[in-house]
Structure 1
Amino acid sequence: MIFEYFSLTDPGLVRDNNEDSIALDVDNHVVVLADGMGGYNAGEVASAMATTFIKTELGRWMTEGGYEANGREIKRAMEICIDNANRSIFNAANSNPQYAGMGTTLVMAVFQGVRSFIGHVGDSRCYRLRGGEFVQLTRDHSLLQEQIDAGLISQEQAQFATHKNLVTRALGVEDTVLLEVNEYRAEDGDLYLFCSDGLSDMIPDSRLAAILASDGTLEAKTNALIDAANDAGGRDNISVILAYARSKPLRKGLLSRMLGQ
């Protein structure tokens, strides 16, 4: 399977700074997106630490033999990277008063042949569009999701909840954190969307699916997603990574158009 990528982050219309961070290792097919939190711009520090560390360490591991690893070994490598990144952020938050309380949610992926390994902590999400079917592959680690799971609130009511951003899991908040990681089989034509809640909170899934299913390059679709979030108010930072899977190489001219070059 061959993967193509495009990524972009935008501060939105309300926030003065951007606490989101994105990282891509195209050669090793490692995708990382983080949404930081904390005062005095500490969220920027937490998210940047997470994406930089994971891209570097996981990319190195993949280069040194990760492509020969089995699924269990890849998941374990992802968990170790998350654990080490979490400890780095936690230690920085506890040794620097200006960083006290900082943390970050995160969604990540490793693509290996026809296998995709999707991991997340918090409410940063991964969706997949396959043959017209749009599904959310991650399940938020949030108070709101726990209430939905317990039947205390419906999906319709959740759209108007005032506590959407209360996460129950994040990097850097405690000395340990649990990465939820699942393996999926990638198919020709799959389009994966990784995003911060600055997109998913502003745009309904039906609109996200329509934009992804529209004609155009990955760059055009990414810009359309961010524009839609800003048109809806842009209340938070907005980050998007798109990953497109195909089984055969494209002709050079078509490849250039797909990548927006």
Structure 2
Amino acid sequence: MIWNSSEYSHPGHRRKNNEDAVYSNARSGVWCVADGMGGHQNGGLASQWLVDAIASTPAYATIDECVNELQKRIFALNQTLYDKGGALSENSHTKRQTVGCTFVIFISDGVRNACLWAGDSRLYLLRNDNLYQITDDHSLVNDLVSRGIISESETHNHPQAHVVTRALGASETLSFEKKIFKAQQGDRYLLCSDGLYNELEPSDISAALAMSESSQSCRALVDKVLKTEATDNLTACVINAALASGY
């Protein structure tokens, strides 16, 4: 399998700064979207540091080796960001500050895929015209839905809709999830921040991912959101899979 990918990030209509960050490397088969939290400067710092850590990861012979190395770097960065928040709090004599971000990382060797995530940044898959959400949000409202306390329809207007329960740098101990699954010819993947998917219907995402080029898909998703109030930063990273010639 060979990959073609495109990415686009926009601050939205309400915010001057963009705390999102995106990394896309089709050649090495690694992609990431990070959504900063903890204030403009702190959130943007966390997102960028994560992207930098991923970008500096050397190439590995197997996907398992790559995933293991990324996990080590994520845990090390979590400690760095947590300590950074503590230092900022001491200097300003305020409550503990957060220097953190939610993230979703997608890794593929063309046969096997891996997804690592914490928080509410998402990975979608369009396969055989069916849209799947690969990630489960680590958020308060998602926990309430899973426990049957509120319905899915009540999540959109819930007063704590943006409260995440896991994030890089938010606590001294980080818990993130990992999924391993097979790649298939014709797969279309979308990594995105909540500022993108919160303004879209699943049908919007399916229609965009069905376009022939990843750049078309990416632009269609962002343009659709920018026609709304777009109150948050928004980032899309679209990845298309095709069989290499000769197979």
Name the TM-score, length of structure 1 as normaliser.
0.87
- Aligned 1:28-177 pairs, distance under 5 A: 28-57=28-57, 60=58, 63=59, 66-68=60-62, 71=64, 73-97=65-89, 100-177=97-174
Report the Cα offset of residue 134 of structure 1: 0.2
Report the Cα offset of residue 216 of structure 1: 4.3
In 2, Cα distance between equivalents of 1:113 and 1:18? 32
Asked whether the equivalents of residues 49 and 89 of structure 1 are also in contact (C-alpha less than 8 Å), the reply is: no
Partner of 1:221: 217
Asked whether the equivalents of residues 2 and 249 of structure 1 are also in contact (C-alpha less than 8 Å), the reply is: no
**Where does structure 1 lack aligned partners over 5 or more consecutive residues?**
251-261
The Cα offsets for residues 104-160 of structure 1, whole Å up to 9 and x where unpaired, read as 000001111311101100000000000100010000000011011001111122233
The Cα offsets for residues 46-68 of structure 1, whole Å up to 9 and x where unpaired, read as 111111112313xx1xx2xx223
CA RMSD of the aligned region, Å?
1.8
Asked whether the equivalents of residues 10 and 233 of structure 2 are also in contact (C-alpha less than 8 Å), the reply is: yes
Partner of 2:18: 18
The Cα offsets for residues 162-189 of structure 1, whole Å up to 9 and x where unpaired, read as 3221000001111220120100100000
Matched, 1:246 2:242: yes
Partner of 2:233: 237
Partner of 1:178: 175
Report the Cα offset of residue 198 of structure 1: 0.3
SS at match of 1:87: helix
In 2, Cα distance between equivalents of 1:14 and 1:4? 31
In 2, Cα distance between equivalents of 1:35 and 1:158? 20
Q: Which runs of 4+ in 1 moved over 6 A?
A: none
Aligned-residue identity in percent: 30
In 2, Cα distance between equivalents of 1:34 and 1:190? 22
Asked whether the equivalents of residues 196 and 235 of structure 2 are also in contact (C-alpha less than 8 Å), the reply is: yes
The Cα offsets for residues 29-58 of structure 1, whole Å up to 9 and x where unpaired, read as 11111000112521111111111112313x
Asked whether the equivalents of residues 62 and 109 of structure 2 are also in contact (C-alpha less than 8 Å), the reply is: no
SS at match of 1:77: helix
SS at match of 1:41: helix
21-30 vs 117-126, greater mean Cα deviation? 21-30
The Cα offsets for residues 218-256 of structure 1, whole Å up to 9 and x where unpaired, read as 112111101111212111001011111111349xxxxxx
In 2, Cα distance between equivalents of 1:126 and 1:189? 16
In 2, Cα distance between equivalents of 1:157 and 1:77? 39
SS at match of 1:27: coil
Greater helix fraction, Structure 1 or Structure 2: 1
In 1, Cα distance between equivalents of 2:39 and 2:233? 15
SS at match of 1:16: coil
Matched, 1:9 2:9: yes
In 1, Cα distance between equivalents of 2:40 and 2:243? 46
Asked whether the equivalents of residues 101 and 168 of structure 2 are also in contact (C-alpha less than 8 Å), the reply is: yes
In 1, Cα distance between equivalents of 2:143 and 2:245? 43
In 2, Cα distance between equivalents of 1:162 and 1:233? 18
